[in-house]
Chains A and B, each alone.
Chain A
Amino acid sequence: MDRKNYRTHVLVCAGTGCVSNGSLNIKSALEEELKKHGLDGEVQVIVTGCQGFCERGPIAIVQPDDVFYQSLTLKDIPPLVEEHFLKGRPYKKCMYVPGKKEDAIPKMMDIDFFKHQMLVVLRNRGRMDPEKIDEYIAFDGYRGLAKALTSMTPDEIIEEISASGLRGRGGAGFPAAMKWRFAQKADSDVKYLICNADEGDPGAYMDRSVLEADPHAVLEGMTIGAKAIGAVKGFIYVRDEYPLAVDRIKKAIEQAKDYGLLGENILDTGFDFDVEVIRGGGAFVCGEETALMASIEGQPGRPRSRPPFPAERGLWGKPTNINNVETWANVPIIIHRGAEWYATLGTEKSKGTKVFSLVGKINNSGLVEVPMGIPLREIIYGIGGGIPGGKAFKAVQSGGPSGGCIPASLLDLPVDYEKLAEAGAIMGSGGLIVMDEETCMVDVALYFINFLVDESCGKCTPCRVGLVRMKEILERIVAGEGTESDIGSLEALAHTIKNSALCGLGNTAPNPVLTTLKYFKEEYEAHIRDHRCPAGVCKALITHRIDPEKCTGCTVCARNCPVDAISGERKQPHVIDIELCTQCGSCREACKFDAIIVE
């Protein structure tokens, strides 16, 4: 790697979020500007994978100064280069400012969002170019593989993973080593291995980010797993919605092959292993392992009952081991640094770290990696900086459509597999969607049931029919037409579906309803008894009104109303005709004076 010749590096984020905000243009502008000042021999611009703080993009970090720049625009580049690189003083305008009255924070490691994180899986994010294998190697990449292939037996590899306590990051938290052992023991000349990068949970994007920021870590992990199990071929099943991830992993495969780290006779040890990328067809249920395998075989992705488990009969009937992206990305560092080190991280039963996507109604939204067992409060307030606009925290949704909503009273819950399950949620893939007082929990329950009705493959009756019945009841409730018996019916349906559905989709589908009923029953009751939506979301139960004290008669609301329901003279308070109003909220978004009230 030729980084040594430069005194300073500017690491420009090129994750999907920052690229959509124009970070690649920022990169070119930086290079041009540096050249103009004759600094291009001293300062090197490097594009990296997602650095996590997506909301503030485009972002760039200057190293070794550790200065963090955010929300960059092309106009900022000339003054930034002049200030930082010519005059040697960080450029204040693009620094992170935590709150309105607070001072700008120049150094990345002084910013709460970064300070409290612990990077194991995301260790290479923001420090290397994911499209250059040399950079990965310079940061100890492929050392774990070299160790596994040259000085460990397959049993020793599995032993090491077992001692580390690594559990699957794809949802259920099944011990990785146990699954590997089943596949290893299976008697077959051909075995397969799969990396599950379908990432279907809405509100979760950690797998996308790992593939974009560190594709070689996933390949290295898979190759180590292949050696342990005796697999000849691996498949990475990636959502078609992730074009950048697909592109990066394909490049990584080519490079690894060129370097003799993948393909035939890897590292001259006589071991062969090849990897192919398969693009998913856009069906949530294809994240389920048996459906995913059907999809790789070119069939519609419908799950089948287990047993037989994939370790016995998987792809094309052959023994197959499937793990999630993040699970695979943990493997190289466990082998390289040792299980003993890894097992010091996390809690007794949940070892290591977990990457979460901290999103929704939160100040600092982005991707965060923390040790298992950290309290929710620390993630939401310590790292996330709390709720925007001084609003009150209501709940955090964990685990996607199979998960649940955790209320404020459980904010001190330590986050690990067991504790989340006790609360009625699950770890899932790691989406944490924060909700505030303006989020309606009945609407959220309906949102997930709608999602699951759409995504149910239709094979088993409890899921295909039962979920539709739940949806109908919830639709009645949000329309203000619910009855007292609806809550009981929802609970009864939920338990039946949980116990009788064919696959994990149906078994866990009622969780969003059950947890919102458990912790937010009074919100359901307000809809049913008082025909009121306390959060002001359900259109049938709210009215928009203009506060005559605050209205300045600027006419913006009237011009934005799609149904011409607002009238009034210029400079006079306006009024909404409730007969015409569709409660779409356009006026409220357009009003600059907070004069539109929702009741």
Chain B
Amino acid sequence: MEAVHRIIENYGKRDRSLIAMLQDIQREKGYLPREALKIVADEVNVPLSRLYSLATFYKAFSLVPRGRHIVHVCTGTACHVRGAVKLIDKLEQTLEIKNGETTADGRFTLEEVRCVGCCGLAPVIVIDEEFHGKLTQKDVGKVLEKYE
């Protein structure tokens, strides 16, 4: 939890930067552990409920641990009309999980996301911030292979 203290310091313990702190913590830990939220509440001097209200309002936050690799399937309109639904079907079949779930071995978490702004390459999936564009169902297996 060393990192959590450092992140809070980075923002001068200001309560207006709570969202940024939670983003950095999630980037560091992969999700928002209860313990970390408690530290933030103490140090910034806000009620824990305020942190939960932020963590549940904003889509990007997760309160449960996620897989080693996060597979984001873009569901923007361009991706939708160019077959995002088929990619989701294929990913769900291949990984044997549903949207929002994590594989039993903890390797992948599958999440549908809002437009990632890479519409020229639709349909797009983003794994750990790496973009893969113009995908078909056939490409899915090969793309996943890269991530241990």
Contacts and interface: CB of A to CB of B under 8 A. Distances in A.
Contacts of B14: 298
A521 to B, nearest CB: 20
Interface string B34-54: 000000000000000000011
Interface string B54-87: 1001111100000000000001111011100010
B119 A205 contact: yes
B82 to A, nearest CB: 7
Interface stretch (A74-82, A277-285, A462-470, A502-510): A277-285
Given A295-B19, A584-B86, A589-B136, A360 B77 contact: yes
B59 A283 contact: yes
Contacts of A366: 120
B80 A298 contact: no
A433 B54 contact: no
B23 A241 contact: no
A562 B141 CA distance: 13
Contacts of B113: 241, 282
Contact of B119 (A53, A357, A447, A562): A357
A124 to B, nearest CB: 19
B121 interface: yes
Contact of B77 (A57, A281, A433): A433
Contacts of A54: 118-121
B97 interface: no
Given A279-B23, A359-B122, A205 B16 contact: no
B8 interface: no
B58 A202 contact: no
A400 interface: yes
A529 B121 CA distance: 37
A397 B77 contact: yes
A298 B115 contact: no
Most buried by A among B18, B60, B78, B89: B78
A241 B122 CA distance: 16
Contact of A20 (B15, B114, B118): B118
A562 B133 CA distance: 23
B18 A298 contact: yes
Interface in A279-306: 279, 281-284, 295-302
B95 to A, nearest CB: 12
Nearest to A19: B131
A239 to B, nearest CB: 8
B117 A242 contact: yes
Contacts of B81: 360-361, 433, 435, 439, 444
A201 B95 CA distance: 29
Interface string B99-143: 000000000000001111111111000000111111011100000
A57 B93 CA distance: 30
A71 to B, nearest CB: 11
A341 B94 CA distance: 57
Given A16-B118, A365-B119, A298 B15 contact: yes
A104 to B, nearest CB: 21
Nearest to A431: B77
Most buried by B among A242, A359, A451, A585: A359
Contacts of A263: none
A595 B14 CA distance: 62
B116 A241 contact: yes
A297 B16 CA distance: 5
B60 A282 contact: yes
Contact of B138 (A19, A202, A589): A589
Given A20-B130, A365-B119, A584-B89, A281 B114 contact: no
A300 B131 contact: no
A299 B15 CA distance: 9
Contact of A202 (B19, B54, B75): B75
A130 B75 CA distance: 29
Interface residues of B, number: 45
Contact of B120 (A17, A281, A284, A439): A17
Most buried by B among A21, A281, A397: A281
A44 B128 CA distance: 33
A260 interface: no
Contacts of A444: 80-81
B114 A282 contact: yes
Given A205-B117, A298-B17, A585-B86, A283 B58 contact: yes
Contact of A208 (B54, B86, B117, B138): B117
Given A16-B118, A283-B59, A586 B77 contact: no
Contacts of A202: 75-78, 80, 114-115
A540 to B, nearest CB: 14
A199 interface: yes
Contacts of A298: 14-19, 54
A586 B137 contact: yes
Contacts of B121: 17, 20-21, 54-55, 57
Given A240-B23, A301-B57, A590-B138, A203 B120 contact: no
Nearest to A285: B57
A568 interface: no
A16 B131 contact: yes
B90 interface: yes
Nearest to A297: B16
A243 B23 CA distance: 12
Contacts of B57: 281, 283, 300-302, 457
A200 interface: yes
Contacts of B122: 359-360, 365
Nearest to B93: A562
Contacts of B129: 243
A367 interface: yes
A53 B19 CA distance: 34
Contacts of A400: 77
Given A241-B116, A451-B75, 16 more contacts: A16-B118, A57-B120, A57-B121, A199-B117, A243-B129, A279-B19, A281-B57, A298-B17, A300-B57, A300-B58, A357-B78, A447-B77, A560-B138, A585-B86, A586-B86, A589-B138
8 contacts: A55-B120, A243-B129, A278-B20, A279-B23, A281-B58, A282-B60, A400-B77, A589-B138
